Amino acid sequence: MPKSGYDNTLSAMRTLLAVAAVMSVALTAAPQPPGKPTVTRTPTQIDVDGKRIEVFTLTNAAGVEVTAMTYGAIILSWKTPDRTGKSTDIVLGFEDPARYLKGDSPYFGAIVGRYGNRIGGARFVLDGKPYALAANDGPNHLHGGKRGFDKVIWDGEPVKDSRGVSVAFTRTSPDGEEGYPGALTMRVTYTLTPKNELIVDYLATTDKPTVVNLTQHSYFNLAGDGDILGHELRINADRYTPVDKTLIPTGELAPVEGTPFDFRKPMRIGARVASEHPQMQFGRGYDHNWVLARAGAGLSVAAELYEPSSGRSLQVSTTEPGLQFYSGNFLDGTLTGKGNRVYKHRNGLCLETQHFPDSPNKASFPTTVLRPGEKYRTQTVFVTGVR
Ligand code: BGC
């Protein structure tokens, strides 16, 4: 059949886009005038499942630099200036991409899935059919199982994006992977904008009904070193989801008022982290999901973090209903990371935008079910700055 004018235009556009993508990579390999936003693509010598791990570096004119790799779609580093202009890496992790293959990273910088956080009893029922998952956290399933999305190789590609410099990671999780039904086709894009935003766009479709809850698991330290107890945190939430002793939500949405979970006004994390509140005993500190206060759907501010000594700030906005604030309670000095730093108790914290833990077993929580023909589309925006 002869091609229509529309087809011809489409194919010409595709060629142009492909050429533009290649050019942007090639161009940025050459020295750039200071301040020009760039995306570079560097292969490593490491192969996983027959694919080479590649590293992408995004920079903007304001001196922010984010590096991510195709293994686990992991953010390896995130360099931002402090209030004097001195740049530091504000996320925990390892220098050498190969180090992540050892399998003992506590999800440093990774995209977590197919289901971020816990599913109680490592099982759920969907459309009347029971599904069994790996119990990799006591009796429960955590962060997608034994080999979740943080431990597999994705494809990576720089993409043209009017908002800034971008890299897209794509992967299809096969039907039955880690016990989940349906082949899940995903695209996670990191876009660094001139306004120091890192926009994370998540897109997924499935060929069978399934459950999905993807999140970004960076461990932040806005001082670049030491513990995070002096960081001030605000969480835009009046309620949180209390948990049992295995960290599975009880189903209740409890008010934060009068508890250590009240971050409606900025509070030092260290102020109440040692509280006797029974909920704080279960997680050995903060390891809970907050029910975000939002006026309708769309992007809304979830949290604001500030570190007085460096002056660095981080704002997190999201389309998701929940935020897991994890105060790095299980870091215990056994891992040595970038710059030979030993990661001790509470040397980093996670702000994981998400649907609530154990939603597949909690009919009253917002649903995490994705069906064929539907699009899973969420967005989280991290903005770094100084005060
Ligand atoms: C969980 C913690 C867990 C940590 C690292 C967080 O998202 O809530 O309980 O220890 O990830 O695995």
Give residue-wise pLDDT tens across range 13-65.
443 443 333 333 433 444 444 578 999 999 999 999 999 999 999 999 999 99
Question: What single-letter amino acid sits at 228?
Answer: I
* Residue bearing the CA closest to ligand 1, atom 8: 287
- Whether residue 217 lies in the annotated active site: yes
pLDDT tens digit string along 316-330?
999 999 999 999 999
Q: Are 114 and 80 in a shared domain?
A: yes
Query: Which residues, in sequence order, are bridge partners of residue 190?
Result: 167, 200
Q: Are 74 and 172 in a shared domain?
A: yes
Torsion of Cα atoms, 43 then 45 then 48 then 51, to 10°: 50
Q: Are 15 and 152 in a shared domain?
A: no
Q: How do strand 267-268 and strand 350-354 relate by DSSP bridges?
A: unpaired
How far apart are the CA of 14 and the centre of ligand 1, in A?
Answer: 41
- Ligand 1 probe mutation, 112, 118, 119, 142, most atoms within 8 A of CB: 142
Q: Are 331 and 365 in a shared domain?
A: yes
Residue 34, pLDDT score: 54
Q: What is the CATH number of the domain that holds 347?
A: 2.70.98.10
Say how far apart CA 227 and CA 344 lie, in whole Å.
Answer: 8
* Residue bearing the CA closest to ligand 1, atom 7: 117
For residue 114, is the peptide bond before it cis, meaning its omega torsion is within 30 degrees of 0?
yes
* Residue bearing the CA closest to ligand 1, atom 5: 106
Q: Are 16 and 130 in a shared domain?
A: no
Residue 19, pLDDT score: 37
Task: Name which of 143, 158, 145 is nearest 68 in CA terms.
Answer: 158
Please identify which residue in the block is written with the tokens 């971008």: 166
Q: What is the mean pLDDT of the chain?
A: 92
Q: Look up the domain containing 305 and give its range.
A: 37-386
How far apart are the CA of 41 and the centre of ligand 1, in A?
Answer: 30
Which DSSP string corresponds to 54-81?
EEEEEE-TTS-EEEEESBTT-EEEEEEE
Query: Which residues, in sequence order, are bridge partners of residue 111?
Result: 216
Q: Are 289 and 228 in a shared domain?
A: yes
The answer to whether the CB of 201 falls within 8 A of the CB of 167 is: no
Q: Are 154 and 7 in a shared domain?
A: no
Q: Are 196 and 102 in a shared domain?
A: yes
215, two tokens: 């999140």
Q: pLDDT band for position 114 (50/70/90)?
A: very high
Residue 9 has pLDDT above 70, yes or no: no
Ligand 1 atom at minimal distance to the Cα of residue 112: 7
Which DSSP string corresponds to 194-233?
TTSEEEEEEEEEESS-EE-B-EEE--B-TTSSS-STT-EE
Q: Are 190 and 72 in a shared domain?
A: yes
Residues lining ligand 1, Cβ inside 6 A: 106-107, 117, 247, 287, 324, 326, 330, 350, 352
Annotated catalytic residue within 54, 177, 197, 217: 217
Q: Are 60 and 133 in a shared domain?
A: yes
Q: Are 19 and 141 in a shared domain?
A: no
- Overall number of domains in the chain: 2
Say how far apart CA 382 and CA 20 lie, in whole Å.
Answer: 27
Ligand 1 atom at minimal distance to the Cα of residue 215: 7
pLDDT tens digit string along 274-308?
999 999 999 899 999 999 999 888 999 999 999 99
- Whether residue 352 lies in the annotated active site: yes
Say how far apart CA 141 and CA 159 lie, in whole Å.
Answer: 34
pLDDT tens digit string along 219-274?
999 999 999 999 999 999 999 999 999 999 999 999 999 999 999 999 999 999 99
The answer to whether the CB of 67 falls within 8 A of the CB of 54 is: no
Give the DSSP letter of residue 245: T
How far apart are the CA of 40 and the centre of ligand 1, in A?
Answer: 31
Residue 148 has pLDDT above 90, yes or no: yes
How far apart are the CA of 117 and the centre of ligand 1, in A?
Answer: 7
- Ligand 1 probe mutation, 74, 104, 107, most atoms within 8 A of CB: 107
pLDDT tens digit string along 337-364?
999 999 999 999 999 999 999 999 999 9
Q: Are 382 and 322 in a shared domain?
A: yes
Q: Determine whether 312 is exposed, middle or buried from the number of CB atoms within 10 Å of its CB (0-12, 13-18, 19+).
A: buried
Give one word for 358, left, alpha or beta, with left for phi > 0 and alpha for psi -120 to 50: left
Q: What share of the chain in percent tops pLDDT 90?
A: 90
How far apart are the CA of 353 and the centre of ligand 1, in A?
Answer: 13
